[in-house]
Structure 1
Amino acid sequence: MDVIERKLRVLAGTWKLMESEPLRMYAILVNLGWHDMSMLAARNTLNTPLGKLLGVDELREISGSDYFMFLEYRLRCTRSARPQQELLIQPIKDSPSIQSNTLPVQADGLRKPTHEKGLFDSSAKADIILRSSDSIDFFVLESLLRVVSPVFDDRCSASTESNGKLTVDSELPLMQVEEDSETLRYLLLIYHYEDELPIQNAALFSSVAFAVRKYKMSAIESRLQRHLVGSPLLSKKPLQVYVRAIQLGSRVAAELAAKNMLSQDIQGMSYVEGLEYITGMDLHHLMEYRFRCGDAALAVFVQADMKDLYDNGRLTNKLSDQGSNSCRKEPYQILESFTAERLKARPRGFTITEVDDSLKQRFAQLQSIYNSSHTSTEKAEGPWKLL
């Protein structure tokens, strides 16, 4: 098989698809684990603006982490004087599987809940036992399981009819589940406690979200979604909220997170834990939305009267305060280009006012520039250098 793989790798470098459909080839090669070959495919996308790259089905087969590495590479290339010499950052380790029927691997050293002692052990009031995949028993009420999950309701009914339930020393019926003890504990705790601490670990959240949807636990799902919508992370780390909303299947939370991301410069987007548990297509949809918003905001902006925007706004008053009549003839083209660039990078309404404030601060420096200039040429060139 090694011989066949080597031949395929050689052929891949000569495929016309590497030039005609580089993004598709990038996803295919990453999925194969051929990260050195994926570098060539990523480089071939440089001829297409990032906002014009169309999504391909193969992005569903790689993780959001893999696609983020591609985005980071493309954004770095836009700032580089030699983009053709930039390289992809290789993943430190393989991302976990993103298939819908696969649970993420639990991380070591997870924080244990502090208030579950005695709640699910043998001293608890219970009539059924849930046994986790790592052989930890949880003593619970069957009626609770039936209420919280229609899937558990069916399993309890089926076990009763077949009379085939396992029993343990306590003589209580035993139900084996696929989830590990950490995931199962949090599922039960979230249902019992309104003030349960939010899950900080990305791997654990992914496992819990997977189990919530698997067992159709609508009450717990709603609680997790409410936490996302009301979380302070929505404004501080919207990408992290977006990732978790995708895992929960919460469209409302995902849309709110996507909108909040518009206030952040795309060049400042940083990696967040959990990207490895969504697909590359999930992240591509987010970027498509962002670029559409940028185009829409720019379309509205270019229809505005530049003279009305800049002559009748706060900048005019500020310039008057500086006593600089010559600066009232500033070229609208410079201001328009500057504002359009910022608006496209951060397509939110307040970006305009932020640009205005930024220019206002710059104009505040005019007096010191004027005083420090020795010739009339320097005094005239000062404002334009400042812009």
Structure 2
Amino acid sequence: MRTPFGTRRNSYICGITTGSKATLWTANTRRASSIISPGDCDTDDTTYWNRWITTDTWPVPGMGYEDYYFHTDMSIKPYPPDDSAEFTYTYDPDDPSPTIGGREFIGLGSAGYGPKNQAPIVETREDVLIFSTPPLEEPLKLVGKIKCRLYASSDRIDTDFAVRITDVYPDGRSILMTDGILKARHRIGFDREDFLVPGNVYEFDVDCWSVGHVFNEGHQIRAIISSSNYPRFEVNPNTGAPLMRNDPVRLVANNTIHISPINACRLELPVVPLTPLNLAGSDDAPPIGKPESFAIFAYPNPFNSTVTITIDGVGPHGRAPMQVEIFDVSGRLVERIPLAPLNKVGVEPRETGGSFIWQPDPDLPSGVYLVRARWDSRSLSGVEATEGGRGDLDPTGTVAAKRLVYLK
């Protein structure tokens, strides 16, 4: 799992985190993931991006794959090409395309890491092919694994095909979002070797890993195709020899990407419906003051029959747009209070908090339990919870958790 680094203004490569304060326990011994969904770093707008998304499932609900095809004019469009072309480049393992940014956090020296601009160095090389969408007419949100299907040939029995996905800004910056590579001999599976017949066209499915990102209106989605990304990935010597580091025997390969209605090279993009964040609920509703943080207190703790759980900092108007859940150490949900003002579920509201008493089910064993509370900023603006269910939780909601020790 990957974690975002830096500030929002620096953007991120897809952030997916567990094990930190963003970790959320869920039922069936699974943990939910919190995914940062960054976007245009030239704006302070958080309506569609620079927000956390929380999900109990992967892929995220509502995600659907959409195919974006490579065309003979080097464009990427949401429909297949109606003509054919071949694009050949020369890959020299003694002069590989350099890694600029990305997920590697050590050993890259001046290359750095993270969402670096690929335009000045990578995209000016002669051993890369560049395909781009037209400027987007509206923002496009991607959350999930990006796949790239290539139809390609080589004059060698083995080579690599590398893909970088970038967000191209109107000023020409081409910011790396994610990347992937596939060794030709392992195109069918990593447990076998199937060498190429030089000149034959084969299908390659390159795993570009997962992203959580919103491509803004006026931006372009770009795929940079090459056969190296070094030192992130070891160079392929193009010989078909047993794999080894720094193989001294190397051959130059001429690799060709084939584009046609039959050989439909494409990106498979994990598109998620774009929903704006509206804390007020409507133009006429007053803004809701979401607390920066809140805390959970439990007394007594450890306890042997009942425990009083107090939530400090539950929001304005003496109401608490809150969902409270209790889990055992395996992540199994044992108690849920539906998303609702706390005074509707037997809690006496206070100016800054509320309390309730939890009496465990008699069948629950002694042990450690986790109480988790989420403040949902939209629940005062018409968002209703499913009775007994999670409801539509605000992905920007503040979360707090507290450990309980139950001793029978």
TM over 0.5: no
Q: Which of the two has greater helix per residue?
A: 1
Structure number with higher relative contact order (C-alpha < 8 Å, ≥ 6 residues apart): 2
The TM-score, its normalising length taken from structure 1, stands at 0.22
Q: Which of the two has greater strand per residue?
A: 2
- Select the structure of larger CA radius of gyration: 1
